[in-house]
Chains A and B, each alone.
Chain A
Amino acid sequence: APLAPEVDTMMLAEGYLRNFYGLETELHPSFKRKITDSVSEKLKKMQSFFGLKVTGKLNNETVEMMKQPRCGVPDIGE
């Protein structure tokens, strides 16, 4: 069963989504809820692109994909 992601995994994921899926950096604490939704949406895009199960949640399979060496060009147009 997928394990709960650790804190540094969450940082890895946010960095990855920022670099390759245009996740915007959190500027204000009150936007926390919105940012979380945004992470989920970006995760869905990433999972869909790589043919993973689309959950919008950070699971082991998604983290493993994020850890793979890759090209620095974003996977999305915007």
Chain B
Amino acid sequence: YVLIDGNPKWPRNDLTYRIINRTPDMRPADVDEAIKQAFEVWSNVVPLTFRKIEDGAADIMMSFQFRDHGDGYPFYGPHGTLAHAFQPGPRIGGDVHFDEEETWTKNSKGYNLFIVAAHELGHSLGLAHSPDPGSLMYPNYAYRDTKEFHLPQDDINGIQAIYGQSLQPVQPTGPSTPRTCDPNLSFDAVATLRGEMLFFKGRYLWRKHPQIRETEINLISQFWPTLPAGIQAAYEDVEKDQFVLFKEDKFWVFKESNVVHGYPKRIHQLGFPKTVKRINAAFSDKNTRKTYFFVANKYWRYDENRQSMDEGYPRNIISVFGKIGKVDAAFQHDGYIYLFHGRKQTQFDPNTKQVVRVLKSTSWFGC
């Protein structure tokens, strides 16, 4: 987290706010609810209270503004800058302005008002932008599931550095952004996509290009806003230029960032028996167009050309891939198959049917 220069903060803990006007994009009650919840994000973790008033001057005035609105920071139409806020202080201090020309929603379409309002209120309370891509105070917009929103730990640490800990008996905690070179890092799913490697973990994914040294971490929702967090398996269908992702008994097919019409579907439509509740890992052999699905200690093989499961499956993983046991994630690269389990990955040669070597799961990141 980063505090605003000079560490400005409110001198009182009981603050007022007022909603000056509302966007026509949403029902007024939904605007009020989104803003109320945005305040609660912060009041849940520090000893601040926010009371809504209908008239007069409030500490934090919230409004939807159009283009040049007299504060020296004009908006320039849809996208680009979505909103801004002023640091704690009198008059305009603490005020939040939303760009009226954006499409504001209470879901994943357009820009979610709750998420943007919660971010801006972080500024109103004294937080600057954080370089942690998982934090609420990261400057770029990324949709996240608002029904199960938990303020990330980076933001909790920041706001508590200004106002102290919550008065609740149990201190609230939030999700932390995983560290790229954490030796204990394991992955939910790994897949190739247009020459890059994608490593999934919770709400995050790492992008690694074989010819670029740096690894980039992003929120999954930045690329596929409609996907839930916690993807369990993924593979690339190179021939169709599609990307397939699995969570619990559902799977999604994406073409670039758009979900293909008709998805998500149930995994049983691929031919799995009803006893299979989720897929642990998957990879697709681009040469044979056979896709391998790992479920507990067994694996299935699916023929992408015939669009059906091959006969004679499931088989035991141990009978083909050696003593790997359960597989968390898998992908094919340069003719080898890499099978991930916990902190380790096994490099397997499908031609000699032998394990080549065992590596740390993070070996691709150059840690």
Contacts and interface: CB of A to CB of B under 8 A. Distances in A.
A11 to B, nearest CB: 13
26 contacts: A20-B139, A49-B129, A49-B131, A51-B131, A51-B216, A51-B217, A53-B214, A68-B140, A69-B80, A69-B141, A70-B81, A70-B139, A70-B140, A71-B81, A71-B82, A71-B116, A71-B123, A71-B139, A71-B140, A71-B141, A72-B75, A72-B83, A75-B128, A77-B4, A77-B5, A78-B5
Given A51-B133, A53-B214, A78-B5, A73 B84 contact: yes
Contacts of B120: 71
B129 A73 contact: yes
Contact of B128 (A50, A53, A65, A77): A77
Interface residues of B, number: 28
A69 B140 contact: yes
Contact of A71 (B79, B83, B214, B216): B83
Given A70-B81, A71-B83, 12 more contacts: A53-B212, A69-B82, A71-B140, A71-B141, A72-B83, A72-B84, A73-B84, A73-B128, A74-B129, A77-B4, A77-B5, A78-B5
Nearest to B116: A71
B144 interface: no
Interface of A: 19-20, 49-53, 65, 68-75, 77-78
Contacts of B131: 49-51
B197 to A, nearest CB: 16
A45 to B, nearest CB: 11
B253 interface: no
A19 B133 CA distance: 20
Contact of A70 (B141, B212, B217): B141
Interface of B: 4-5, 73, 75, 79-85, 111, 116, 119-120, 123, 128-129, 131, 133, 139-141, 212-214, 216-217
Contacts of B128: 73, 75, 77
Nearest to B123: A73
A59 to B, nearest CB: 11
Name the prevailing secondary structure of the A interface residues. Answer: loop
Contact of B81 (A19, A53, A77): A19
Contacts of A65: 140
A69 B79 contact: yes
Contacts of A74: 129
B5 A70 contact: no
A69 B73 CA distance: 16
B52 to A, nearest CB: 23
B119 A71 contact: yes
A72 B73 contact: yes
A78 B6 CA distance: 10
A53 B141 CA distance: 21
Contacts of A52: 214, 216
A21 to B, nearest CB: 11
B129 A75 contact: yes
Rank and list the top 5 A-B pairs by shortest CB-CB distance, nearest first.
Answer: A72-B84, A77-B5, A72-B81, A69-B141, A68-B140
Nearest to A16: B80
B85 A70 contact: no
A19 B76 CA distance: 12
Residue with the greatest number of chain A CB neighbours at <10 A, chosen from B5, B75, B83, B139 = B139
Nearest to A20: B139
A51 to B, nearest CB: 7
A74 B73 CA distance: 11
Contacts of B133: 51
Residue with the greatest number of chain B CB neighbours at <10 A, chosen from A49, A52, A65, A70 = A70
Contacts of A69: 79-82, 111, 140-141
Contact of A75 (B119, B139, B213): B139
A51 B120 CA distance: 22
